[in-house]
Amino acid sequence: MELYQLLTEVFVLLDDADRRVLRQHKLSITQFNALYHLDAEQGMSINDLTTRLICDKSNTTRIVERLKKEDLVIRQRDQTDRRYVSVRLTKAGEHLRQEAVTTHRASVNQRFNALSSDEQTTLNQLLARLRDGLRERLNSTT
């Protein structure tokens, strides 16, 4: 239980730091993640974005609508298959994405400076193994 508690505390601290950094750009963490995953040139379907954001489709639709209202994304129907709708960044969305990613990356680097490069590599490997094990367990029960 001690490990679980420690991971929970680390998550809360990282989440709080992310919120503070992204507040400068008037973005929620989920909005930032949506902008981060979207490509200005090719775009992405709502289904693909939902998978990347690890949330449900209705939540993704709300996020996209809010970003659209701010002129950060556009929805575009495919010319050959009118059922397919992609979401792409606008110029303003590209600009905000770049600014937010730069600020966020600098903040993340600063937060992880408490660990050496080797320690970061080891932690990354251990957390990836834990994540993969959790995914496997979740997938086997559904």
Query: CATH number, domain at 30?
Result: 1.10.10.10
Indicate the number of domains in the chain.
Answer: 1
- The answer to whether 63 touches 72, Cβ cutoff 8 Å, is no
Residue 133 lies inside a defined structural domain of this protein? no
Residue 64 lies in a domain: yes
What phi-psi label fits residue 78: left (phi over 0), alpha (psi between -120 and 50 degrees) or beta? beta
Kindly state whether residue 91 falls inside one of the protein's structural domains. Answer: yes
Res 142: pLDDT: 62
Residue 127 is assigned to a structural domain of this protein = no
Label residue 108 exposed, middle or buried (CB < 10 Å: 0-12, 13-18, 19+). middle
Residue 101 falls inside a structural domain? yes
Tally Cβ neighbours within 10 Å of residue 104: 20
Check: pTM over 0.95? Answer yes or no. Answer: no
135 assigned to some structural domain: no
Residue span of the structural domain in which 95 resides: 2-115
* Digit-coded pLDDT (tens) for 26-72: 999 999 999 999 976 688 999 999 999 989 999 999 999 999 999 99
